Amino acid sequence: MSRVLFLVKYIVKDPDCNRFSLNFTHNSKSIIISIAIIYDRSYNNSMTRPKSIDTVNTRVRLLEVGLSLFAKKGYHGTGIKEIVDTAHVPKGSFYNYFTSKEEFGIEIARWHMADFWEKWHSIMDANSSNPLQGLKDCFEVMLDRHFDCAVNTFSVAAHIAAEICESSSDGRFAMKVLIETMRDNLAEYIRKAQELDLARRDVDAKDLASLFWDTWTGSILRMKMENRVDALTQCVTIFFDRFLKQ
């Protein structure tokens, strides 16, 4: 194994930035290498100042209160002052966690959907041999939670999406991502059911997922108008017991 010996003649630091120049000599030739040092301040701050339990609890408390108030009064019908007063959090502290009410609404939808996906995967794992039944069980669990709760929060993500998307391009993009994730997951399990000859194959799984989602969201609107969940129950029963069957 041959070795090459470099002689470092000197090191020069650029005074205007975090950059060093190393001057090497090899075979009577001068070689200059410039090295930039980059600090990731966000990583450094997260390492030196970990989130305290109180910080996490305050953020969660704001999300919980916001979810409940948005479900009762809607996104536009709820103000930040009402949120912080109900959560017993100083108004100034709200902006330590969220830059605006719009960001807060988007985070509530994401947080709520994360809770849904946790339950979703648990149910689907228990029904791995019958993906179609698993999907039906997922939506029936959502309906059961509606009956058990004094405040209807299971469809709040759809409500927030409808309100935020009217006035915000950033909100539309964020909600579009959430909805596409839902449809992609639906399509994945419908496709598995098709492969197991449990679901019809004459329509692409992605198209079936889009059709169900559009029917579901339309049923949510009807539920709000009639103040009952009959439309949603009918949507789930007809789609999974009749329309999707092979």
- The pTM (predicted TM-score) of the whole model is 0.66
List pLDDT tens digits, range 171-206.
888 888 888 888 998 999 999 999 999 999 999 999
Q: Which residues contact 163 (CB under 8 A, 6 or more apart)?
A: 74, 75, 76, 105
187 and 110 co-located in one domain: yes
14 and 92 co-located in one domain: no
Q: What percent of the chain has pLDDT over 90?
A: 32
pLDDT of amino acid 14: 40
The whole domain housing 111 covers 44-243
144 and 233 co-located in one domain: yes
CB-CB contact of 83 with 142 (8 Å): no
Q: Is the pLDDT of residue 87 over 70?
A: yes
What is the distance between the alpha carbons of residues 34 and 23, in angstroms, rounded to a whole number? 9
70 and 126 co-located in one domain: yes
Q: Say what angle helices 101-126 and 131-148 make with each other, to 10 degrees.
A: 130
Question: Residue 236 sits in a domain of what CATH number?
Answer: 1.10.357.10
Q: Is 2 part of any domain?
A: no
23 against 207, higher pLDDT: 207
Token readout for 132 is 């179609």
174 and 194 co-located in one domain: yes
List pLDDT tens digits, range 36-83.
443 333 334 444 444 454 666 899 999 999 988 988 888 889 999 999
Count of domains forming the chain: 2
Q: Is the pLDDT of residue 10 over 60?
A: no
105 against 72, higher pLDDT: 105
SS3 of 52-104: the string is CHHHHHHHHHHHHHHHHHHHHHCCCCCCHHHHHHHHCCCHHHHHHHCCCHHHH
Lowest mean pLDDT across 61-75, 104-118, 135-149, 165-179: 135-149
Count of CB atoms situated within 10 Å of the CB of 156: 23
